[in-house]
Every structure is written in C-alpha cells, then in structure tokens.
Structure 1
Amino acid sequence: MPSRTVSVAQGSVSQPQLEAGDLLVAYLAQLSVDYVFGVPGGAIEPLYNALARSARRGGPGSVVARHETGAAFMADGYGRQTGKLAVCCATTGPGATNLITGVASAYENHIPMLVITAQTALSNFGRGAFQESSCTGINTVGLFQYCSRYSTLVSHVDQLEHKLSTAIMMAYQSPRGPTHLSIPLDILRSTSPVEKPSYNLATLLHQPSLLDDDAVKALCCQIEQAKKVVFVVGEECSEAIGTILELALLIQAEVVTTPHGKGLVSPYHPLFRGVVGFAGHLSASEALSDPKVDAVVVFGANLGEWASNGWDANTLLNNRLIHIENTEGNLTRTPMARLHVRGTIDTICERVLDYLHSRLPKEAGQISRIERRRHDSPMRSTTVRESKWHFQLDEEAKYYDDSTPIKPQRLMRELTRLFPPNTRFLADTGNSMAWAIHYLQPSDRRLAGRRDARGGIFRSCLEFASMGWAIGAAVGTALGAPGNPVVCITGDGSLLMSGQEITVAIQERLPVIFIILNDAALGMVKHGQRLAKAEPIAFELPQINYCAYAEAMGVPGHVIHAPQDLLELDIEAICQRPGPTLIDVRVDPEEVPPIKTRIRILGTSQ
C-alpha cells in the first residue's frame, strides 16, 4: 500500500496510510467478498490500483466485464450463488449509465449489491470535464436514486467510511437491494483518515431471527384447524425450504412454487404440483382452485403479475390467503390476506412445527422427530422415473418427441438428463425462460431437511426481466460455485445483445455451457404477436452460425439439430473443461411457448 508521511505529536514519522480505495477494498475483504465486477477507466483507476494490491495479498480482486451492464449481471449471479455482497463498479459518465439496467434488475429482484461509480475530480465539477456526471452534468447520483435503496456522492474523504458502511448496511435492510456510492477521482486518491476499518460490518449485518409472536400463534391455530392446505413457495425461501417441506410432509400440504421459487423444490417431491403463474402448470392452478382448500400459505413471495397468475383473485389473491414474509414490501401486494405473519421464515416454520409436534400423540411425535433427524442429511441422488411426477405438463408428448428440428420441450428434458445433479441452470428472459420454467426439471431428489441456503439449482431474472441477464449471471454463478457446471439457457436475441461476456468465461477459465435457442427470431415477440393477433413486425433475426461465432473466440461449439445430436455430446468432458462451451440448438421455430398468461394480461391492460 502507498506510504505517506504524517505528523504525530511533535515530530514527523513515516507511517503507512491507506488510500481511500484501499479502505473501501478492506471493507469488502472484511465481508469475504472475492470479486468486484466492472470495467476500468481513468476516473476509477485508484480503485483498480487498490484491487491489484489486494489481489496480490489474496484479497478481493477484479473481474473485467466487456460492458458495464454485464458487470452488474455478473455481480448479481455471484451474490445469488454465494449469499455475499454483490459488488460492481464503473467509471464516470457512460460507464455509470451503462450499469443502470443491471442495477435495476437487482433492485427489482432484491439483490444486495454495492454499486461504485467514479466522478471527475471535485475541483472540475461544472467545468465541462470529460465524461462529467456530477450534479452539474448528467447527474448519476440522481439517476441511481430510482433503482437503488441509497445513492449518494462522497464529497470528502472523511465521509467515505461512514457512507460506505451505511450503503452496505442498507443493501441488506428489508427490502434488500442495490446501494450506490459516487466517488470523485480526487477522493479515491486521497489518504484515508484511518489506518484500518473502524467498524465490524460482519457483526453489524447480523440479523436475529425475529418474528411476530401473536401472528405466529394465530398461524399455528389456523394451520391446525384447516381441512386442506396448499403451500406456495417464493423466491425468498432459500434458507427455509427444508423446514417448509418438512412442515408440508407433516400436514400433507400440497406444494406449488412461483416462477421465482422454481428450483427450490424437487420435481419428484410427492406433494409438488408444479409452478403457478407465468409459464406454470395446470396442476398447480388446479391445486389452488380446489374447493376443498381452505388455507393457502404463501412463503416469501413477491406476488406481482408473474407469480400471482396475473393477479388471479379466484385461485390465489383472496381471503383464504396466509402470507408469511421477511420482506415487508411483499405484504403490500396482499391486503386481502386473512393473516400476515412477519419474521424470519425458517424460524416461523420451526415454531409451527414445534407446536404441531406438541399436539401429536407421544408415539407419533417421537416418530416424527426421528424422521426430522433422518431428513437433516441430504438424500442420495437416485434415478427416478419421470412418471413419478405429480404435476402436469402442457403438450407432454412433445417432451419425448424425436423429430427434427428439435422441439424446445424435448431440449429441456434432455438438459436435466444429460447434466449432473450439481449443475446450476440459469434461464434468460424470452422464450428461454418460458420453456425452462415449464419443462426444465432439475434433478434435486431431496424431500425435506436442511440444505445449503444458496443451493437453488435454477434461477431466472423475473420482474425487470432483462434480456442477457443469464449470460452475465452465469459467469458470476460459476465464480461463486467453483467445481460445479453452470448451464446458461439463452436465446439468439439475448446472445446478440450480450454475447461478448462469454469472453469473460474464457479469461476466467469457467465451465459455463451456453445453450443457444436459435430460431432466428425474437421468439417471444413473434409468438406474442401471433397469439394476440397483432401485426407481425420487427421480430426477425438473421440466420447465424453461433457455433462458428464461438470458435472464432476459441470456444468449442456444437450445432444441434435433433435429440440424437445431444446424446452424442461428451457432457462429462464439457463439464470438466476449464473454459466455456457453446451449444447452438436449432429449435423448431413454430413451437409456441407457454406464455398465454402474459398475452392475456397485455390484452386486458388499458
């Protein structure tokens, strides 16, 4: 680190001092952050100097994206996979504005993220400096206020430590999300007023298991008295999913997930009835609309358009609903619920389990506790026939179709049959997401029990739904889950937007498999226009050999026309390769994705 001479008492001594950038990186090290994702530039060079010094010591280092939006997507994927703070950065001006789409995606999906952008030197504010983005130029602090929980300019080095700690703490406050610091070049270069971090952020970020005791008591009584219960599992159940499934087994509650929660529940679970909402399953809707159901318990779900089946008041948003949440903002979507239960979801479920066990006969309670201990160990993955599913696919015959060109439904079937159970799947916005939500069934066979809170094996970017998210997020996921294959399911439209980020996977030697659904179209736009009987316009894309595109970058590429082509791939070698692979799948362009709910909402919106 740079050494500065400072006055101490009556003399001058040479004493090592941190630069502001070093102090910032020291706080990231305190939180065990491994990577800062970004694109360098002149105004943010002092931060990159600090990252270089840090990396030599084994601390946080930099991963260079090809576009700042990709950097935010990578940070998002890394944060979701590891549970650590997602961190991205950009230089002043267009570097900062390029981040906004990725940051907005994290904002809508409640991803804790620290966003650092540079500014021109304070002394140059208002003078028309190169790429100026201060309050007298393109005001990036103002721009980020609309997609962050906290956005501020650090105007003096003495502010940095307090504003940095505030930003990080606010990123984890409910609702979680990005926070933004804009730091001028001269501040980043300044000597820090402290020699080491003054605060222990890891301790400050610890959140106790809080709950509303009265509401939990009411919940226990209502679950005990209910004749038939359906559980709805949302995106914020990662830490609690084992306990939720244990409770479902105890009371034999049927289980559905929102599109956001897909991947948390095994498709082979005997109580699983599929996904409700966008690209969901008829069996899930039927479970919720069963007249015998008198309690629908929603866990950790943002019940917006896609998760609520288009705000469906008949099956979900009615007075049968009990909403359990640790994110206060999600409860604003369910004022019709008969009970809101606030608190840590895992703790609430443990309390309900304890209550129900206490009401069981002694012998039954003992057996149940034995079962709980047995389920605390992950079940060994074994081959289970697809006929064991207890939910219903649309057009199931196409799931097994051998025709050429390959059906997207069949592609989804083969992906989970070919890749190992520890594979992380990410689906991009567009038809890729719709096909994956409905037809991709990752191979988690566990029925209950504790598991890694970040063990979800399927992720997508709903709500803001940015095209290209999965391409960048797959890179961040692979960095956060070394030794595990990562499969990015994306479309040719998204690849043409963000395909340059594949070169980051090359540089970082990451085993990311990019599956391109190649139909020479913006597929969701094309099929959406057909379903809505709109003008067929602006969806065509050129016929491109993406295998050749990959090989031009030094990435092995494979073209898939038929199911048999997939079976001829050496998947084990692909997964063990220290670098990415691209698979150009020429899917049947006439297959209609399961997007009718979305089209219905667009048609009824005024």
Structure 2
Amino acid sequence: MEGQLHDAADLIVAYLEQLGVEYVFGVPGGAIEPLYNALARSSRRGGPRPVLARHEAGAAFMADGYARETGKLGVCCGTSGPGATNMITGVACAYDNAIPMLVLTGQPALPNFGRRALQESSCTGIDIVAMFSHCTRYNTLVTHADQLEHKLVAALMHATRTPGGPAHLSIPLDILKAPLPRSGVAHDIKGMLKPAAMLDVQAADMLVAQLQEAKNPLLLIGGSCGEAIASLLDIAMHREAGFIVTPDAKGLIDPRHPLFRGVFGFAGHASAEMALRDKSVDLIVAFGASMNEWTSGGWSDAVLNHRLVHVDECEEHLVRTPMARLHVRGRIAAVAARLVERMQVPPAMPIPGPVLERPASDVRPQHRGVPPLSIHEGVNSDDPVKPQQLMQELGRLFPSHTRYLADSGNSFAWAIHYLSPEAPGSSDAPGGAPSAGKGGWLRVTMDFAPMGWAIGGAIGTALGNPDAPVVCITGDGSMLMNGQELSAAVAEELNVVFVVLNDAALGMVKHGQRLAGAERIAHQLPHTDFAALAHALGAQAHTIHCLQDLAGLDIDAIRERRGPTLLDVRIDAEEVPPMSLRMRVLGTAV
C-alpha cells in the first residue's frame, strides 16, 4: 500500500491491512465518510472492505464473531452521536468477553465542537469518549492529525494484549480528511503484536510436583484454553485425570471424551458438581477460567477451596481466587507446554475406551431429561418440538466442523447442557477447537450477555470462515430485538442457518418468574411468523412444528445454497431450561 495513502483514513486502513483484517463492520454517516472512502479504495485492490450492518450494535456483534473465528482483530465503526451510542452494547459485550476489537467513531470537525453541530458527541455535547470509558481497554479522542498514528498503534496494542478487548478512537471529520506527511506507515504493527510467551517457571514447576503427587487430580478447563487444549487433554490422559469445562469451554472438547465429567457452571451438569465434591479429589487445577458467576458455579465452594490451583495469564481472573493454594501466572499454552515437558507427557496421546467409570448421574445430552428419542421413532406429529431433542438433532444434522453460536436466554441454556455434535474436531485442531479462533464448535457470550449477540456474531463467523457451516441458535425475543441483521446475511450471501426457538415469550424471564413465585408479567410475545419475516428479507425459511418437519429438511441443499436459511422452530413452551444456578444466585431458588 506504499505510495497509495491519500489521507489519515487511508492510514487506518493500511494498518488493518498489515494485520490481515478483511472486513470493517459498520453503518456509514457523514462524520465518518472519509473512512468509507478509504475502504472503497481498499476494496478495489483486494484489501479490507466494509460490511454494512443494519444497526451499529449488530456491527459490533459481527466484529466479535469475526474475531472469535479468525483470531484476528475485529473492527467496527459508526458515525458520531447515535451511531456511536448504538455500538455501546456490542462493545461492552466484547469488553467482558476479552474480544480484541478496534472501535472507530466519527465526530464533527474540531472547529465545530461546542457549537451544537449535528450529532455532536464531543465533551461539550453527548460525550461519547466518556461513555466508552468503562467498556474499553483504551479510549481516546484524536485532537491533532499528528496524534493519529501513535494513538492508533496504542489502540491496536491494547486491544490485542491480555486480557484484550475493545479499543476506541473517536476521530473528528477534519482529522480523517487530513493529508499525510509521508506515503506509508511508520511501524511494523504485525510484529509488535505477537503474543508474549510469559511464564512463571517456578510456579509452573510447583504445579508439576503437585500433579505428580496427587492421587486423584481433576482439571477444570476454561474458555481461554483454545490454543492449549490438545496439551491439556494429553495431560489429563497421562494422569488419567477427569476433567470438567466451564460453559464457554464446552466447544473446545469432544463431549464423548472418556475423561469428560461435564460442564460446570451455568446450565451445567450434576456430574461436574459431583466430580468437584468427590472427597477423593485432592487437587483441582483450573486453567483459563475467569471465575465469574457462570464459570465458578455461582462462586461455589465446590471449586473455590484449598484444593484449587488457578492457572491464568489474566490478573483480573486470579484476584477472584485468593483461597487457591497456588497461582500460576502465564500464557496457558506456555504453562501447558512446560507441564508436558516436565511430566514427560507423550504427545498426541490416543484416546482409548473409557478410562474411568462415569458416575451414574452422568447428564450428557443422551443421558438426562428427555430420552434420546430418535425422530424416526414415531413421535406424535402434533407435539411441539422439545428443546432438548432439538439440540440433539442439530448435533446430528450438521457436520462436525459446524460453528454453533448460542444466544442469550434459553438458547444458550439448552445448548450448553444438551448440544453435542456427532464427532467434533475431525477437521480442526485436537479437541474440536478451530486453530485460530475462540470458543471451538460452541460459542457463547459470558458476563455481559446481550440478546441478539449470536445473530450478528454468526454473520462475522461466516465471513471469517466461509468453509465452515454456521448455525445461530437464538430465541424469538432476540430475533425481534436484533433480527434485522438477517438482511445483512442476505446481502453478503452467507450460508448461515438461523434456528429460532419460538415459544411466544421471553422464555428465561417467564420460567424465572414461575420458579421464583414472582408475578407473571411482561414476558408474553405475540405469535410471530419468523419464516414469513425471513422470506420478506430475502432469506429461505421453514416452519418446524414437530421433529418430522426437521427430518424432512434437505440439509445438504440448505448447506450448499448461497444465502441464509431460517428455521422457525415451534418449541414446547412448558419445558424449563436448566437455569437453577441463576435462580440460586438471584436468591429465588425454590
């Protein structure tokens, strides 16, 4: 791109091109038009191009999904004023999930600050920099053209360094238009952003000794373990140690692994809790677990006790486990490599038959709740689809390298507990995790969990990896809130399957009110024909009233078509999702 930079906006795009970023997700407007001009020039030569979202929150969700799938920086942009404020929810979600993201917002020209310019969002108007201050790792207004490059580099470094998250630049229109003093970029940013191989060697070696001495160790694998999952599973096999996973790590492993003891935390399994409370377990090693509400079982004493060793490179996570007998600071991959070396773990250990007997209460999808009823066994055609069975069938219908994104609400409760692909990982890294991405075959959003995240996230995922099938599991409430992004999938001709759990309600609110004995109010939704809405937006759609309707779909044809498909699944509205942990934390468990 040397010699082709017209103005400051071109400089931004040049740095994105260095990093291999392919897309900038956003909605244009006057205050950010120079960036779109630069993207138009970039598109013509095969560089980063814009993807038009239907709402700026959707743009942030798309950037989130793209970053999770590719391991690259997600980039989103919006114009000044409401364009910027619309993005805050998506940016906050990325912040709480440590998703590397560059957020670019426009401003009126500097001389117009304080004069009530249209959509002004400076410190003298609706102060957008102040609004972003609590949901970004770096956040600044660019006030001079010669600030832009070093502030951009700082933003990129903050976004991609642990714990990672959004970095925000608010850039006035006249600065975006400013001519550049030279023809190219000043820094090799790609080299600067290589991850550090930090490792507390002494603490890691103390962990080696404890693992070797333990009679019955148990591993807790968290969502930050994607690049280390193969080594961690080898360690488990070497020690014949059972392992459990946090909800955001379920997609990193094959749920049929003989040492898997279930999901611990929100929508998890009784078998995981039993494994933690087993008195013979004398060492619990948590790798890359944030120990928030959902990954700690509501701060359960089953895991937060003296048997715990907590391994993490994020100090924000380690401060939540002061009771642990040992903290091992370091990049998870580096710690795992040290353990493998010092314990002389054979590489790529084969997975044999069952090593340990499963507890009788094993609650994997085929063992609990609704029995593993095949859709070929004559289910009553008048019965609505049970969500448990739907999760089972989705895992059967789609290939092993499918990316599932489960939305907030009932959707991720059902998916975390019951979804189980036939044989995840056959075309990816060991354990089912994509080689570069975050979350593996199942992606969920933790902590700050906005409705509709998975809709935009699925679009970003599909753009990041066109070869992988993408399934978005969402609810009718989320579709009514953010379903307009289906139009973006149509425009981009993306092969995404949107599965809508349609129960004419805000399901988690409804069931939560019932379980708590609260007033049953403000959860009802009108019966909505989402298939008709999808058709109106240009997508293919099917209404699924029963499991036979699902069996009648030509999944191969759906996967081969250019463009999205929506499945409007009429689920049994009386089935209660696995949400007891949430009720307990709220103090309303019955």
In the superposition, the TM-score normalised over structure 2's length comes to 0.94
How far has the Cα of 1:293 moved from its partner? 0.3
* Contact map agreement 1:269 1:389 (CA 8 A) in 2: no
Residue 454 (structure 1) aligns with: 437
* Contact map agreement 1:490 1:514 (CA 8 A) in 2: yes
Letter in 1 for 2:544: I
* Contact map agreement 1:442 1:458 (CA 8 A) in 2: no
**Equivalent of 1:327 in 270, 290, 314:** 314
* Contact map agreement 1:44 1:117 (CA 8 A) in 2: yes
* Contact map agreement 1:398 1:407 (CA 8 A) in 2: no
* Contact map agreement 1:268 1:390 (CA 8 A) in 2: no
Deviations 1:20-67 (A, max 9, x none): 000000000000000000000011000000000001010000000000
How far has the Cα of 1:484 moved from its partner? 1.4
- Check 1:83–1:446 CA distance in 2 against 1; reply closer, same or farther (3 A cut): closer
Residue 397 (structure 1) aligns with: 370
How far has the Cα of 1:389 moved from its partner? 11
Q: Distance in 2 between matches of 1:281 and 1:16?
A: 56
Residue 510 (structure 1) aligns with: 494
**Equivalent of 1:101 in 52, 76, 89:** 89
Residue 188 (structure 1) aligns with: 176
Identity of aligned residues (%): 56
- Check 1:16–1:510 CA distance in 2 against 1; reply closer, same or farther (3 A cut): closer
How far has the Cα of 1:400 moved from its partner? 2.2
Does 2:72 align with 1:84? yes
Deviations 1:79-117 (A, max 9, x none): 000000010000000000000000000000000100000
* Contact map agreement 2:66 2:464 (CA 8 A) in 1: yes
Residue 416 (structure 2) aligns with: 437
Residue 103 (structure 2) aligns with: 115
Q: Distance in 1 between matches of 2:179 and 2:386?
A: 60
Q: Distance in 1 between matches of 2:348 and 2:57?
A: 45
Q: Distance in 2 between matches of 1:19 and 1:399?
A: 61
Letter in 2 for 1:413: Q
Q: Distance in 1 between matches of 2:361 and 2:189?
A: 45
- Check 1:29–1:270 CA distance in 2 against 1; reply closer, same or farther (3 A cut): same
Bigger radius of gyration, 1 or 2? Answer: 1
Deviations 1:193-233 (A, max 9, x none): 23111001111111231200110111011101111111111
* Contact map agreement 2:53 2:59 (CA 8 A) in 1: yes
How far has the Cα of 1:462 moved from its partner? 1.4
Residue 596 (structure 1) aligns with: 580
Q: Distance in 2 between matches of 1:82 and 1:198?
A: 26
* Contact map agreement 2:409 2:508 (CA 8 A) in 1: yes
**Equivalent of 1:499 in 483, 486, 494:** 483
* Contact map agreement 2:499 2:569 (CA 8 A) in 1: yes
**Pairing of 1:458-477 with structure 2 (within 5 A):** 458-477=442-461
Residue 397 (structure 2) aligns with: 418
* Contact map agreement 1:230 1:296 (CA 8 A) in 2: yes
The secondary structure found in structure 2 opposite 1:541 is: coil
* Contact map agreement 2:424 2:441 (CA 8 A) in 1: no
Residue 534 (structure 2) aligns with: 550
CA RMSD of aligned residues (A): 2.1
How far has the Cα of 1:604 moved from its partner? 6.2
Structure 2 unaligned runs (5+)?
352-357
The secondary structure found in structure 1 opposite 2:244 is: strand
How far has the Cα of 1:390 moved from its partner? 6.0
Residue 177 (structure 1) aligns with: 165
How far has the Cα of 1:454 moved from its partner? 2.2
In the superposition, the TM-score normalised over structure 1's length comes to 0.91
How far has the Cα of 1:596 moved from its partner? 0.9
**Equivalent of 2:522 in 533, 538, 542:** 538
**Equivalent of 1:486 in 455, 470, 490:** 470
* Contact map agreement 1:427 1:488 (CA 8 A) in 2: yes
- Check 1:439–1:449 CA distance in 2 against 1; reply closer, same or farther (3 A cut): closer
Q: Distance in 1 between matches of 2:507 and 2:371?
A: 18
**Pairing of 1:265-276 with structure 2 (within 5 A):** 265-276=253-264
Does 2:250 align with 1:262? yes
The secondary structure found in structure 1 opposite 2:568 is: strand
Deviations 1:397-454 (A, max 9, x none): 3442735111000000000000111111000000011000000012345599586142
- Check 1:597–1:16 CA distance in 2 against 1; reply closer, same or farther (3 A cut): closer
Residue 575 (structure 1) aligns with: 559
The secondary structure found in structure 2 opposite 1:527 is: helix
How far has the Cα of 1:17 moved from its partner? 5.1
Q: Distance in 2 between matches of 1:597 and 1:577?
A: 40
Letter in 2 for 1:80: R
* Contact map agreement 1:270 1:389 (CA 8 A) in 2: no
How far has the Cα of 1:234 moved from its partner? 0.7
* Contact map agreement 1:270 1:390 (CA 8 A) in 2: no
Letter in 1 for 2:269: H
Residue 243 (structure 1) aligns with: 231
How far has the Cα of 1:388 moved from its partner? 13
Letter in 2 for 1:49: N
Q: Distance in 1 between matches of 2:407 and 2:423?
A: 21
The secondary structure found in structure 1 opposite 2:585 is: helix
Residue 365 (structure 1) aligns with: none
Of stretches 459-468 and 190-199 in structure 1, the one that deviates more from structure 2 is 190-199
Residue 362 (structure 1) aligns with: none
**Equivalent of 1:37 in 15, 21, 25:** 25
* Contact map agreement 2:489 2:563 (CA 8 A) in 1: yes
Letter in 1 for 2:155: A
Residue 285 (structure 1) aligns with: 273
- Check 1:354–1:552 CA distance in 2 against 1; reply closer, same or farther (3 A cut): same
**Equivalent of 1:347 in 329, 334, 338:** 334
Of stretches 543-552 and 52-61 in structure 1, the one that deviates more from structure 2 is 543-552
- The number of residues matched between the two structures is 571
Deviations 1:517-562 (A, max 9, x none): 0000000000000000000000000011111111112211111111
How far has the Cα of 1:173 moved from its partner? 2.0
* Contact map agreement 1:509 1:579 (CA 8 A) in 2: yes
Letter in 2 for 1:536: R
Does 2:46 align with 1:58? yes
Letter in 2 for 1:334: T
Deviations 1:315-374 (A, max 9, x none): 1001111111122211011111111001121221121122222xxxxxxxxxx63xx257
Q: Distance in 1 between matches of 2:115 and 2:384?
A: 60
Does 2:137 align with 1:149? yes
Q: Distance in 2 between matches of 1:286 and 1:104?
A: 34
* Contact map agreement 1:282 1:392 (CA 8 A) in 2: no
